[in-house]
Amino acid sequence: MKYYPCTLALLFMGTVTVGQAAPLTVEDYCDVKISAPVSIKEMRPLADGLTYAAISDDGRSIDVYSYKSGKKVNTLFSVDAIKGDVKIDSFEGYVLSDNERKILLWNNSEAIYRHSFTADYYVYDIMRGTMARVSEKEGLRCATMSHDGRMVAYVYDNNIYISNLDYQTDRPITEDGVKNEIINGAPDWAYEEEFGIENTIRWSTDDSILAYIRFDERKVPVYSFDDYRSYCDNDPLGDPYPEAFRYKYPLPGYPNSKVSVHAYELDNRVTKTMDLKLDENDYVPSMEFGGEGTQLMVMVLNRDQNHLVLNSVNPKSTVARAILKENSEAWLNPTAYQMADYGPSSFVIGSERSGYLHLYEYDYSGNLKRQITNGSYNVTAYYGTDKRNGTVYAQTTCKGAINRNVVKVDRSGKMTVLNNQEGTESASFSKSFDYFVRTYSSTTVPPQYTICNSSGTMVAEVEMNREYAMKYAQAPKMEFLTVPNAEGKEMNAYIIKPADFDSSKKYKLLMYQYNGPGSQEVLNRWRMEGIFYLASEGYIVACVDGRGTGNRDRAWATAVYKRLGQYETADQIAGAKYFCNLPYIDASKAACFGWSYGGYMTLMELSDTSNPFKAGVAMAPVTDWRYYDSIYTERYMQTPQQNESGYSQGSALNRTHNMQRKLLIMSGTSDDNVHFYNTLKYTSKLNSEGTLFDMMAYTGFEHSLRMCNARTMLFRKVLQFLNTNL
């Protein structure tokens, strides 16, 4: 389960003249097209280590810029300069071949799930200036270019094809793909959502072998719901008989997709199944070519997700050799093991075995060469290793859990913080690691983009968001503090006060929460969204990260294992009581609000007899863990057959008889993640028990409400509900 409260827009929508203090509206806070700061185009490092590529502001070309100066030095591609008969008027994304001679471009994309999409694909020859269409078929998925740029593998109708651009051939290498039965190359819904996998097609370094994962989802039950059209659609009245959306969605304890790993040899057109001895319940959360690019590195994870084996597989002989194993009494964190980076003679991987997430280097025999990072902090991103000197670059919490800083670690283990500044910093390095694009923000500083050298010294500004910062200078600000949890241990917390805050007055309190396992709401970064709008309307908004949340030590996170909802509820209520005791809070006017896992928390808190709330808002909540997907839920709860008491005690449905507070529950009817069924089940039970509540449905909308003005309407409704009931 993932909830993204705000994403960066590609373009800045509107500016404020210097000195102008325009009053902020609900749209300024809640409409992501307006509230998002200026974002830069993705800057992709080029092989020379001195330049990077980026899409032009008008979106019609791919230009080359110098790291040293930040200035444009060349153009790789332009829609206006295509030679030959095949042309395009626009493109939405691109990938460069490893030899940087070809560019894979796509347009006309259509979303499938949160990240996946189909599109039309083209390959542009940089030297010749000509364009070729990958296939005459429309709506391709997972297009993956060979290292030399001469071939493209893709998925169509659940089968994998290879398009050879030199010979103008387009042939299938699998033929058993069937919708809702067999998927070749592309992930199923659960793998995409919970492992973050969008494509399983991999070329060997010499492009002689194509490896992929096959998903057999025939035993996975079909989930279906009526996909009503919203008035945001082009033809809102075009469904007098609504279509049913049907897809395979594994619930806890039910069958998952059975996966297998295959390798297709291009020379003899033979496909082999890797000898991994996979149990039908095992997962393959990662598969990459490693070493010299001829051996497959395949991770196998058991269904309980507490035992991981990294295998080195010979794709020709199919023989697998286990070179690394990791076990845990609780779950293994995907963030750690998916940091794996396979070099020519060794690989780097993350692990929480020390109690914190750190990086380790192994050789391909499975021997530990060194522990790269060490200490009472977490590595939150791995950027790579400079092969010239072995220096490792990463993002860490070395300045506290609420901060993110980019560091470098030399071979001796000495760690250097590149910019000793509190806030949230990330990096995108050049191929040579001599330069990086630095992104920085804090609660008071909107995102700033600069180019720095390997020592962290700025060499050029890219985008500083100065006008945007001026626009929101008078918006409410976030402050950090720590408060005691239910056991008296410190929780990280924030508080947002109205801009005209007066400590002699009494304010209504709104506790905002998420608190899902491994999540983090209390983070020193820029945010401008609906909760700031509620603060601007006179509310004190507060938030705590209780037990189960991430980037503290592992014991803090795994305290909730097999008991989701229990410790988190106690900690959220403890945090609320702390804030209710502040002299400027009216304790009789407190409410809670959460989205997704936070919506579940709202229901759990309101039905706890010790809660201090008068009302609460639950958006897109899980109401019983038996109704959410298997990979996420079982990671923390095991199956219902293994942990019946945990599921029962963590069910909001089992606590409705204690719902004595005012409730507003909301959900999108086309939510393929947390299904509308959760809300319908819960409200049906409230009805049967004679409990009154408020409800709002968003017709045809998905989990995050990105469409039209939905977010603005949501926060207007939240404000109206809170004002009425507090």
Separation of alpha carbons 598 and 260, rounded Å: 35
pLDDT at 10: 30
Rounded distance, CA 615 to CA 574, Å?
A: 17
Structure tokens at 384: 């790579």
Report how far Cα 186 is from the mean position of its chain's Cα atoms: 18
Give the C-alpha separation, 616 to 674, whole Å: 19
Domain boundaries, the chain: 475-725
SS (H, E, C) 271-291: EEECECCCCCCCEEEEEEEEC
Q: Which whole number is the average pLDDT over 386-399?
A: 96
Checking if the pLDDT of 4 tops 80, the result is: no
CA distance 83 to 405: 46
pLDDT greater than 70 at residue 184: yes
Average pLDDT over residues 271-287: 96
Which of 10-19, 255-264, 405-414, 525-534 comes out lowest in average pLDDT? 10-19
Determine the average pLDDT of the residues in 685-695: 97
Q: How confident is the model at residue 20 (pLDDT cuts 50, 70, 90)?
A: low
**Of 5-14, 68-77, 648-657, 716-725, which range is least confident?**
5-14
pLDDT value of position 238 = 80
Is residue 234 very low, low, confident or very high in pLDDT (cuts 50, 70, 90)? confident
Report the chain's mean pLDDT, rounded to a whole number: 95
What pLDDT sits at residue 15?
37
Answer yes or no: is pLDDT of 219 > 50: yes
Q: List CB contacts of 714: < 8 A, sequence separation 6 or more.
A: 30, 530, 619, 666, 698, 705
Q: What is each CA distance from 510 to 475, 478, 656, in whole angstroms?
A: 17, 14, 22
For 68, the 3-state DSSP assignment is coil
Residue 620 gets the label, from left (phi > 0), alpha (psi -120 to 50) or beta, of: left
Give the burial class of 373: count Cβ atoms within 10 A of its Cβ; 0-12 exposed, 13-18 middle, 19 or more buried: buried
- Is the alpha carbon torsion for 501, 502, 505, 511 positive or negative? positive
Residue 21: what pLDDT? Answer: 57
Q: What pLDDT, on the 0 to 100 scale, is given for residue 16?
A: 37
Q: Point out the least confidently predicted range of 70-74, 198-202, 691-695.
A: 70-74
Residue 3: is its pLDDT beyond 80? no
Three-point CA angle 418, 420, 424, nearest 5° = 90
Q: Determine the average pLDDT of the residues in 382-388.
A: 96
pLDDT over 50 (residue 125): yes
User: Rounded to 5 degrees, what are φ and ψ at 308?
Assistant: -120, 135
Cα distance between residue 689 and residue 121, in whole Å? 55
* 571 touches 611 (CB < 8 A): no
Amino acid letter for position 529: E
For the domain spanning 475-725, the CATH number is: 3.40.50.1820
Phi (first) and psi of residue 401, to 5 degrees: -60, -25
How would DSSP label each residue in 517-579? TT-----SS---SHHHHHHHTTEEEEEEE-TT-SSS-HHHHHTTTT-TTHHHHHHHHHHHHHH
Residue 470 DSSP SS3: helix
- Calculate Rg over the CA atoms of the chain: 26
Q: What's the one-letter identity of residue 233? A: D
Query: Could you report the per-residue pLDDT of 631-658, keeping only the tens digit for each?
Result: 999 999 999 999 999 999 999 999 999 9
Which residues neighbour 147 within 8 Å (Cβ) at sequence distance 6 or greater? 97, 98, 99, 203, 205, 206, 207
CA distance 62 to 73: 11
SS3 658: helix
Distances in Å between the Cα of 442 and the Cα atoms of 3, 173, 423, 478, 532 are: 20, 49, 5, 10, 15
721 CB-side CA count, 13 A: 26
In whole angstroms, what is the distance from residue 583 CA to residue 18 CA?
A: 38
Q: Inform me whether the pLDDT recorded for 589 exceeds 70.
A: yes
Q: What is the pLDDT of residues 409-461, one digit of tens each?
A: 999 999 999 999 999 999 999 999 999 999 999 999 999 999 999 999 999 99
Q: What is the DSSP letter of 140?
A: B
> How many Cβ atoms from other residues are within 10 Å of residue 278's Cβ?
18
- Give the pLDDT score at 299: 98
Q: Do residues 318 and 214 touch, judged by C-beta distance below 8 A?
A: no
Residue 32 has pLDDT above 70, yes or no: yes
Which tokens go with 452? 């720095």
Residue 102, Cβ density class (10 Å: 0-12 exposed, 13-18 middle, ≥19 buried):
buried
Burial annotation 564-601 (CB, 10 A radius, 16+ → b, else e): bbbbbbbbbbbbbbbbbeeeebeeebbbbbbbbbbbbb
Question: Counting every residue, how long is the chain?
Answer: 726
